[in-house]
Amino acid sequence: MVNFTFEPEMSIAYGAGNYALTRTLLRRACQLALLVAVGHRLIMMTSSMGFSRTGPPATSHPAATAQPPFFLVVVLLHSGPPST
């Protein structure tokens, strides 16, 4: 993401011989990449800490783990008639 944002301007600045602008753009690209990486890591750590306490949202709701109603019918039909 950062590479696609800064690469065209850096190429133009380098081709024009404007090395000060090239260094500035490279510095800003590195800062943005670091910011994105730290932000992503914080989001991942926060969500994993929440999951370790409560479980993932998809399975924390009691109805999420309940069997569908047709499951009982399938089990009863598969077991066959009661034997005597």
pLDDT at 7 over 80: yes
Digit-coded pLDDT (tens) for 49-80: 655 555 555 555 555 555 556 666 666 666 66
54 part of a folded domain: yes
Residue 56 belongs to what domain range?
2-79
Rounded-to-integer distance, Cα 35 and Cα 82, Å? 66
Number of independent structural domains in the chain? 1
Asked if 25 contacts 10 with a C-beta cutoff of 8 angstroms, the reply is yes
Cβ proximity of 3 and 11 under 8 Å: no
In a domain, residue 84? The reply is no
The model's pTM is 0.52
Cα–Cα distance, 44 to 39 (Å, whole number): 9
Residues 35 and 2: beta-carbon distance below 8 Å: no
